[in-house]
A and B are shown apart, each in its own frame.
Chain A
């Protein structure tokens, strides 16, 4: 399995599109997931996902395997989604406390209550919660990614947990 992945990576690095298509098929769901949870909009998440794989294609020749390919790709997806998230915030001039209107509809079988509650969180609290609780980033890393203070990241996270607990207990 790992050897097969290495072969695909090497072939894609050399410009083999068919191998890159297989890498895309293998990792697109994971990349799309973080984009969707951060952006809460199917179209924007798809755009971010496409941009992610264009960057991966462009940067692949420089990938030396210092980290796992999945980790490397996931970092690119996270950064790309956050860039869009930040641009979106600037464009819409939305009040930080206002939740997004368009809530994604997760697939059948997933815990919809929690997915919907996360999607309905205020933007910054949602971003911090997704990155910390689901994606495993530290508050220091989140602070750097979102350009906020580390203390703010912790405060947003605790606010998100409080709101989620309230939301889930109401259902």
Chain B
């Protein structure tokens, strides 16, 4: 850590500033654990995937997205394994661990009587299941992991918004 140019004038205020600079911490911790999200974004290091595999993954992602946009289509044919059956620390598992606990904490702090809130969350849950189903075929596919990440963030933002507004107003959400 450097305090000032050699040619800088010297004063008591300079000394005080230099001392304050020296006391600054060299490192600061982020407010949250960045690893789970980073892990989901890391490109695979193994051999390049064949073009047909990328096309298939994209098709599965598009299918998952279309079901999410059209919830009236009902449950899809792809099913995701329950969280308890995941026995390896995959990127998907890491995301689920982080977001499900955050979601549970936010849900626990809220008390909604309006069924539309439950319906809205069910739509997101359905989309999450669809993407997880696709991930069971392509476990490290970055686009699917990003989609999963986005879905959870949308849910958490929604819950956070509900928590901030007046309970009477929240009844209309």
A-B pairs with beta carbons under 8 A, tally: 99
Interface SS of A by simple majority: helix
Chain B interface residue bracket vs A: 20 to 34
Give the contacts of B80-99 with A (CB-CB under 8 A).
none
Contact call A168/B17, Cβ cutoff below 8 A:
yes
Chain A 7-23 per-residue mask, 1 if CB under 8 angstroms from chain B, else 0: 00000000101001100
* A50 → B minimal CB distance (Å): 5
* B123 → A minimal CB distance (Å): 26
Distance of A54 Cα from B14 Cα, bound (Å)? 40
Is A152 an interface residue when CB atoms closer than 8 A count as contact? no
| Chain B, Cβ-Cβ closest to A27 | B27
Given contacts A50-B34, A50-B37, contact A29 B27 (CB under 8 A): yes
Chain A residues engaging chain B, CB cutoff 8 angstroms: 15, 17, 20-21, 24-25, 28-30, 32-33, 36, 42, 45-46, 49-50, 53-54, 57-58, 61, 106-107, 110-111, 113-115, 132-134, 136, 154, 157-158, 161, 164-165, 168-169
Chain B residues engaging chain A, CB cutoff 8 angstroms: 1-5, 8, 13-14, 16-17, 20-21, 23-32, 34-35, 37-39, 41-43, 45-46
